[in-house]
Chains A and B, each alone.
Chain A
Amino acid sequence: MKTLAKCALVLGLAAAMVSCRKKTSEVTGPPVGQPGKPIVIGALFAVTGPASFLGAPEKKTAEMIVDQINAAGGVNGRLIQLIVKDTGGSPEKCISFTRQLIDENKVCAIIGPSTSGETMGIKNICETAKVPLVSCAAAEVIVNPVAKYVFKTPQKDSQAATWIFRTMKTMGIKKIGIVSGNTGFGKAGKNQLEKLAPEMGIEVLASEVYDKRATDLTDVLAKLKAKNVQAVVNWSIVPAQSIVAKNMKQIGLNVPLFQSHGFGNIKYVEQAGEAAEGTLFPGGRLLVVGSLPNGHPQKAVLEAYKTEYEDRYHEAVSTFGGHAYDAINIVVNAIRKAGSDDRDKIRDAIENTKGFVGTGGVFNFSPEDHNGLTLDAFEMLTVKNGKFELYRP
């Protein structure tokens, strides 16, 4: 009897697993086979796992946009089907899913992945398979060297670094310390900071990398304090970016703190509380949409995205979701312009995109520039009374 029960258990488990198969991926949009064949777009996001703070808002945003487009009748008279795959931040799954999307789902373009490591793992795959990829990851290597089929929407790290250094110059800061997290994002930022600092006449006294899950960073910051840095630049993600802010105050390292554009979520400010006051960081205008002048080209887009996202998901918008907003819209606009879902035509249309107003800035792609954003995509922002504000020296 007991054996029978065990057998039933094992078979049940197996059955449960097979039934999982139905949940292969989350599909937004009409099922295949309906009249007017839908246009299939693939999406790779790290919805769970260590990079979920990127992937989760990205997935939500992409699904929201696709729903909106379909509600409005789709593109070129055809509806859009978005196939979202959760990579869990694992490059292995990302590669497998990319192949699946390309060969099996025959997607016309892919948006994502969320992290630089994953993007670099599939850069060659998309290039050889000739499938347009619009990445939501930050690292500069994604578009430099330029691969014909690979684009990205987040602002370049070098631009963020330039903004930081420019601001430092106006403040008279000459000697700085850099701390960064051991993620792809942290690594890319650290590289750009170290590369650009000498050109900008700024001396890096110390550059330390810490674990992304670090629980306390007073030791690393104490090292910077001992070197008498005039400012600290932190390039990392949650929760470390709040921990750095708090720890600096706690050990009495009272110099300006610059953060990366990854600081772009009001939640992080809440977590750092009073310690976040005065933090300076380059950010997209999404975060300060309220204080943009009325005539600003991005204002309408940003306001619409912010209200729609916050109404639908009841959480604050973040810069990261914005990257997906830009990616999906760039692809859809390219499809509209190309008038078909032919991969090569979409690629060409993306490369010829000019003046697209997104959350990250105004995109102008070209054969040499597959990011399409210039320095003015950023504003220097600061935190005042727990809110983001434009920084005015």
Chain B
Amino acid sequence: MSQIVQFFFSGLTLGSIYAVVALGFNLIYSTTGILNFAQGEFLMLGGMTAVTLARFTPIPVAVVGAVVIVTLCGGVLEILFFRRLRRPTVLQMIIITIGLSIVIREVALHVWDEKVRSLSYFTGNECSSVRVLGAGISPQVFWVLGTVALVVLLLHLFLHRSLVGRAMRACASNPEAAMLAGINTGRMRTLAFMLSAGIGALGGCVISPITMTQYDSGAGLAIKGFAAAMLGGLGRPMPGVLGGLLVGLAEAFSVYFGMPAAYKDATAFGILVAVLFVRPQGLFSSGELQAGAQER
């Protein structure tokens, strides 16, 4: 029994990490139709910046500072590389975000270095764990899950209650109509990029004690985040979080059921491909495919 609980917790830990990544993807995708392959880099940047700031300031200040800095980065990237595109094709957008992800990674390598860094645990230390039914889980996982929950809640309130948030959703569902209604779609896009960069940075900070941060840790996280987002249905933040947890659990239990851990990562990609082939709209969606899946 305690073993199953332990595997469940492992899955939860992995899943919470993927959920953080998926959240940022979905936000940008739903507002701009861009699948941001550089989302993982925002997490890496957040973690790296926070670790650097933490040398001078207490951790909460460092985290806030990192989120602010990366948020601004997100905005600048959008203005520099996407605003000027008038009618970008999907191919063009994919390629630009991939290019960005590579360049950000290489810049990080030369700004920082190749070494692994990490923030210290927010509560307790490396050894502390919370015991449930004989199984242990690091308190940091609750920080991650709590952050995800808080962000989801705030995001929901923002998108559904505030005027700006509603305008953003309008851009998502019909950009032309939104423009006609007087919404500055360009500005909404920038905002979406900033928001998701900020969410990414925050995620990068809270997972840093668990996963540690290195200049090239973004791409791996991004890919897991894709699988999570795809499982939940692309462009839908809340199901994406669920998708993340499911991918994490699937990975953990694949080990439990005796699959060699060497192939553990293939599980996530297997899920990704299977979902795409069988149910591209995601598990939790009964409706039509989102705009991106249809011909543009």
Listed in ascending order, the chain A residues whose CB lies under 8 Å from chain B are 48-50, 52-53, 56, 179, 182, 208-211, 213-216, 218-220, 222-223, 225-226, 238-239, 242-243, 245-246, 249-252, 267, 271-276
Contacts and interface: CB of A to CB of B under 8 A. Distances in A.
Contacts of B10: 216, 218-219, 222
A251 B260 contact: no
A48 B109 contact: yes
Given A53-B115, A215-B207, A251 B3 contact: no
Given A239-B116, A252-B131, A216 B126 contact: no
Interface string B202-236: 00000100111010110011000000000000000
14 contacts: A53-B116, A179-B261, A211-B265, A215-B207, A215-B211, A216-B210, A218-B137, A219-B7, A219-B11, A225-B3, A238-B116, A239-B116, A243-B211, A272-B126
B136 A250 contact: yes
B49 interface: no
Residue among B212, B214, B216 facing the most chain A CB atoms (10 A cut-off):
B212
A220 B261 contact: yes
Main SS class of interface, B: helix
B99 to A, nearest CB: 13
A90 B126 CA distance: 34
B116 A249 contact: no
Residue among B10, B126, B214, B217 facing the most chain A CB atoms (10 A cut-off):
B126
Contact of A182 (B214, B256, B262): B262
B59 interface: no
Contacts of A249: 126-127, 129
Interface string B110-137: 0001111010100001111101000111
A208 B260 contact: yes
B6 A250 contact: no
Contacts of B118: 239, 271
A271 B6 contact: no
- Please provide the 7 A-B residue pairs with the shortest distance between their CB atoms, ordered closest to farther: A52-B114, A219-B10, A215-B211, A209-B262, A275-B126, A249-B127, A273-B126
B220 A246 contact: no
A208 B120 CA distance: 28
Nearest to B266: A211
A256 to B, nearest CB: 15
B137 A250 contact: yes
Contacts of A226: 3
B7 A251 contact: no
Interface residues of B, number: 44
Contacts of A245: 126
B129 A251 contact: yes
B95 to A, nearest CB: 16
Interface string B185-211: 000000000000000000000010011
A238 B129 CA distance: 22
A52 B105 CA distance: 14
Nearest to A223: B255
B264 interface: yes
B210 A215 contact: yes
A207 to B, nearest CB: 9
A218 B9 contact: yes
A215 B126 contact: no
Nearest to B140: A250
Residue among A218, A225, A276 facing the most chain B CB atoms (10 A cut-off):
A218
Contact of B264 (A210, A225, A239, A246): A210
B264 to A, nearest CB: 7
A134 to B, nearest CB: 23
Contacts of B116: 53, 238-239, 242, 267, 271
B167 interface: no
A52 B7 CA distance: 33
B251 interface: yes
Contacts of A243: 210-212
B101 interface: no
B71 interface: no
B252 interface: yes
B281 to A, nearest CB: 28
A274 B126 contact: yes
Contacts of B136: 250-252
B266 to A, nearest CB: 10
A193 B109 CA distance: 34
Given A249-B127, A273-B120, A213 B220 contact: yes
Contacts of B36: none
B114 A53 contact: yes
Contacts of A52: 109, 114
Interface string B135-172: 11110000000000000000000000000000000000
B13 interface: yes
A220 B7 CA distance: 9
Contact of B6 (A213, A222, A276): A222
Contact of B14 (A216, A250, A251, A272): A216
Interface in B244-269: 251-252, 255-256, 260-262, 264-265
A216 B120 contact: no
A181 to B, nearest CB: 10
A274 B210 contact: no
